[in-house]
């Protein structure tokens, strides 16, 4: 007698805040459709993974998708089904990467609306084609939005946020382009003019930032001024009545490397803050100073960005002093100094400099001690496991509190629905209240997903002494045998932060190991035979770390 094998299926649903507001996409509608489909095909729904109010641009912040991928590694289901393939990812390359992870664990991917699944060659082909079409559609929409922004800019209207000195209000004009208006904020104007006047008088970026911070002035975001903030203000032509657009393209991905080739610079409809004469003088000085050679520090700084200032906790950066001895010989001393002090001045923090050689020696010795002295490493591993177990109760308590808030919000939604059904509340008020409740509910549900993911990692098997010793030994060997660039790469991959005490001595070194760092960098100690120039030594298959874990030495 033959028994039918019931397919184990999980449902994934996602909607971003913008999609829900603009297109009316509904998580509940997606779930209802997929549940009914599974019931009709007699598939067993093992779980549902729902990311609410989250963009599909990347996996970051999508805790339910992360949980799904972890469950896939444990083969908890046979198929993932979505309403549309773009619920899983917006970019074709991300979609294919996720599907590849599923296929490695013999899990197929099915789209209900597009009617395909990846267990067959034709299904995989359809996925690739539809993914490419979906990305083309998304890019076309983005281009159309950018076209509208470019047209607004050419007409002298501002796009996006405004800098210090301005704010946006509802426009008085009847045209579509003039629906918002940029006006001056008087209390901020004085700061902007002061910055321009001080720079025109010959003061540097750090001097101006330091002076403003001592006076308690803040940027548009309410933060202390930095050299970068001052520079961006001085380079913004909006203050002289101009609109500049398309200076950078794809800022979120390329940052300043995405320099635009078709920069728009036209007269704007907003009032200027600085005079043309002052602007021209400042730009002349900016151009002259920009042509000066940059300061260059001799030597190799291994720990930049990793050492934390003992006073404010900011990352410390490279610095040096040059003095002359009694016989006239030049003496260069290299340090790590507080990055906030170097950028924002003494109003925010102090230099708190620590000698480069001493800091790097202390860190490498601390790592070596953990390898060569078993008692130290044993205490470290014991501390890691105790800390992991100690985190569980607070996480569970917070999860209970979050679930209570979710239940309360669901109850409120039910009551408003009852009031609406008996005509005790008008449609507009009901819609407004429901929108606010759904927004709060999405926040709490996302928080619950993150807590469940954190709890899952913390309840994993205890970290073994042998595993930590093996990782530390290989890390230490690489640090002693690799050239500088590889050592710096390793440091930034594995060291989370280095803390100094109040006497500016290395207090603790926080390390983080995960599957990728172990697989690609700590699989084998270096040797002359396999050491290719510019490459990390690697051969054979590394053991697999299932979870990220951190240790402090």
Position 8 confidence tier, pLDDT thresholds 50, 70, 90: very high
Half-sphere exposure of 346 (CA within 13 A, CB side): 1
Q: Report residue 116's pLDDT band, with 50, 70 and 90 as the boundaries.
A: low
Q: Please, are residues 387 and 457 in contact by the beta-carbon 8 Å criterion?
A: no
CA dist., res. 433 & res. 27, Å (int):
18
**Alpha carbons within 13 A on the beta-carbon side of 206:** 8
pLDDT band at 468 (very low <50, low <70, confident <90, very high): confident
**Can you tell me the distance from the alpha carbon of 41 to that of 8, in angstroms, rounded to the nearest whole number?**
11
Residue 244 and residue 236: Cα distance in Å, rounded?
A: 8
Rounded distance between C-alpha atoms, residue 439 and residue 432, angstroms? 11
Q: Which pairs count as long-range contacts for 277-280, CB under 8 Å and 24+ apart, including other chains?
A: 278/196, 278/197, 278/200, 279/196, 279/237, 279/239, 279/240
Is the pLDDT confidence value at 539 over 50?
A: no
| Residue 442 φ then ψ, to 5° | -60, -40
Lowest mean pLDDT among 129-133, 254-258, 347-351, 499-503: 254-258
Q: Retrieve residue 74's tokens.
A: 């444990």
Give the residue-averaged pLDDT of 29-33: 87
Mean pLDDT confidence for 414-441: 80
The pLDDT value given to residue 287? 81
Nearest residue to 64 via CA among 31, 93, 41, 32: 31
Please state the rounded mean pLDDT for residues 33-40: 90
Average pLDDT, the chain: 78
**pLDDT, tens digit, for every residue of 171-180?**
665 555 557 7
Query: What does the pLDDT read at residue 534?
Result: 43
Lookup result for tokens 């120039």: 533
Q: How far apart are CA 227 and CA 538, in angstroms?
A: 42
Numbered ranges of CATH 3.90.1750.20 in the chain: 166-290
Contact 317, 227 (CB under 8 A): no
H-helix or E-strand containing 156? none
pLDDT score of 10 more than 90: yes
Strands 506-513 and 549-552: antiparallel
* Separation CA 32–CA 40 (nearest Å): 12
Q: DSSP labels for 221-277?
A: TS----HHHHHHHHT-GGGGTEEEE-SBSSHHHHGGGSB-SS-EEEE-SSPPSS-HH
Range list for CATH 3.40.50.1390 in the chain: 8-143
Which tokens is 326 given? 């009694």
| 248 has a pLDDT exceeding 70 | no
- Please state the φ and ψ torsions of residue 534, each to the nearest 5 degrees: 80, 10
List strand residue ranges (DSSP E) for 339-400, in order. Answer: 354-355
Work out the angle at residue 115's Cα, subtended by the Cα atoms of residues 69 and 133, and round it to the nearest 5 degrees: 80
Written as one string, the DSSP assignment of 293-332 is PPP---S--S-TTTEE-TTT-PBEEEEEEEEE-TTS-EEE
- What number is the average pLDDT over the span 449-465? 75
Sign of torsion over alpha carbons 542, 546, 552, 553? negative
* CATH class of residue range 8-143: alpha beta
Average pLDDT (125-129) is 70
- Report how far Cα 406 is from the mean position of its chain's Cα atoms: 27
Contacts of 158 (CB under 8 A, 6+ apart): 152, 168, 180, 182, 238, 243, 268, 270
- Are 132 and 89 contacting, i.e. CB atoms less than 8 angstroms apart? no
- The secondary element (H helix, E strand) that includes residue 474 is helix 465-481
Angle at 68 between CA 62 and CA 74, to 5 degrees: 145
Q: Pick 499 or 487 by higher pLDDT.
A: 499
What is the pTM (predicted TM-score) of this model? 0.53
Q: Which residue has the higher pLDDT, 40 or 455?
A: 40
Q: What is the mean pLDDT of residues 447-452?
A: 87
Residues recognised as catalytic: 16
Confidence label for 530 from pLDDT (cuts 50, 70 and 90)? very low
Model confidence at 20, pLDDT cuts 50, 70, 90, reads low
- Return the percentage of the chain with pLDDT > 90, whole number: 9
CB 203 within 8 A of CB 233: no
Q: How far are the Cα atoms of 30, 55, 168, 232, 306 from residue 184, in angstroms, in the given order?
A: 46, 34, 9, 18, 41
Under the banding of pLDDT at 50, 70 and 90, the label for residue 499 is: confident
Give the tens place of pLDDT for each residue, 369-388.
877 877 777 887 777 777 77
The pLDDT value recorded for residue 233 is: 92
Quickly count helices (H) and strands (E) in the chain.
17, 16
pLDDT at 21 over 60: no
Fold of the CATH domain 166-290: Hect, E3 ligase catalytic domain fold (3.90.1750)
pLDDT score at 253: 53
Label the pairing between strands 549-552 and 330-338.
unpaired
Percent of the chain whose pLDDT exceeds 70: 79
What is the tens place of the pLDDT at every residue in 146-163? 777 777 778 878 887 888
Q: Please state the φ and ψ torsions of residue 341, each to the nearest 5 degrees.
A: -65, -45
Q: Check residues 65 and 493 and name the one with the higher pLDDT.
A: 65
**Torsion sign, CA atoms 36, 40, 42, 43:** negative
Range 264-292 average pLDDT: 83
User: Model confidence at 532, in pLDDT bands (50, 70, 90)?
Assistant: very low
């Amino acid at each position: 007698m033959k028994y039918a094998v019931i397919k184990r299926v999980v449902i994934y649903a996602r909607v971003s805040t913008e999609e829900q507001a603009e297109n009316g996409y509904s998580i509940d509608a997606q779930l209802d459709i997929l549940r009914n489909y599974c019931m009709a095909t007699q598939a067993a729904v093992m779980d549902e993974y729902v990311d609410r109010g989250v963009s599909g641009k990347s996996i970051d912040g999508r805790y339910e998708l992360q949980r799904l991928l972890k469950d896939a590694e444990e083969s908890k289901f046979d198929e993932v089904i979505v309403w549309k393939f773009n619920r899983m990812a917006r970019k074709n390359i991300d979609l294919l990467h996720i599907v590849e992870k599923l296929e490695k664990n013999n899990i197929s991917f099915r789209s209900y609306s597009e009617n395909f699944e990846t267990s067959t060659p034709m299904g995989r082909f359809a996925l690739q084609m539809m993914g490419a079409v979906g990305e083309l559609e998304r890019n076309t929409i983005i281009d159309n939005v950018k076209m509208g922004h470019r047209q607004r800019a050419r007409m002298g209207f501002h796009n996006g946020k405004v800098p210090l000195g301005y704010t946006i209000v509802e426009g008085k004009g009847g045209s579509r382009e003039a629906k918002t208006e940029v006006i001056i904020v008087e209390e901020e104007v004085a700061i902007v003019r002061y910055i321009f006047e001080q720079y025109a008088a010959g003061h540097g970026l750090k001097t101006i930032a330091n002076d403003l911070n001592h006076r308690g002035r803040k940027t548009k975001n309410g933060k202390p001024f930095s050299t970068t903030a001052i520079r961006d203000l001085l380079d913004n032509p909006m203050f002289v009545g101009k609109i500049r657009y398309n200076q950078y393209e794809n800022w979120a991905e390329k940052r300043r490397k995405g320099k635009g080739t078709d920069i728009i610079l036209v007269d704007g409809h907003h009032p200027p803050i600085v005079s043309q004469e002052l602007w021209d003088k400042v730009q002349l000085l900016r151009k002259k100073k920009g042509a000066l050679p940059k300061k260059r520090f001799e030597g190799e700084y291994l720990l930049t960005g990793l050492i934390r200032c003992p006073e404010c906790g900011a990352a410390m950066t490279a610095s040096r002093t040059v003095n002359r001895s009694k016989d006239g010989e030049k003496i260069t001393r290299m340090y790590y100094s507080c990055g906030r002090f170097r950028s924002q001045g003494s109003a925010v923090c102090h230099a708190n400099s620590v000698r480069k050689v001493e800091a790097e020696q202390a860190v490498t010795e601390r790592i070596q001690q953990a390898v060569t002295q078993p008692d130290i490493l044993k205490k470290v591993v014991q501390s890691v496991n105790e800390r992991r177990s100690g985190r569980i109760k607070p996480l569970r308590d917070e999860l209970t509190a979050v679930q209570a808030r979710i239940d309360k919000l669901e109850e409120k939604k039910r009551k408003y629905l009852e009031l609406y059904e008996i005509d005790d509340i008008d449609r507009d008020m009901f819609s407004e209240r429901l929108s606010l409740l759904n927004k709060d509910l999405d926040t709490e549900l996302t928080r619950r997903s993150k807590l469940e993911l954190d709890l899952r990692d913390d309840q994993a098997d205890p970290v073994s002494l042998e595993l930590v010793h093996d990782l530390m030994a290989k890390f230490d060997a690489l640090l002693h045998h690799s050239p500088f660039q590889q050592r710096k790469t390793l440091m930034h991959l594995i060291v989370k932060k280095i803390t100094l005490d109040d006497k500016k001595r290395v207090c603790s070194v926080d390390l983080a190991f995960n599957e990728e760092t172990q697989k690609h960098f700590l699989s084998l100690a270096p040797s002359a035979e396999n050491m290719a120039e510019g490459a990390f030594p690697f051969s054979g298959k590394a053991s697999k770390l299932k979870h990220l874990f951190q240790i402090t030495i």
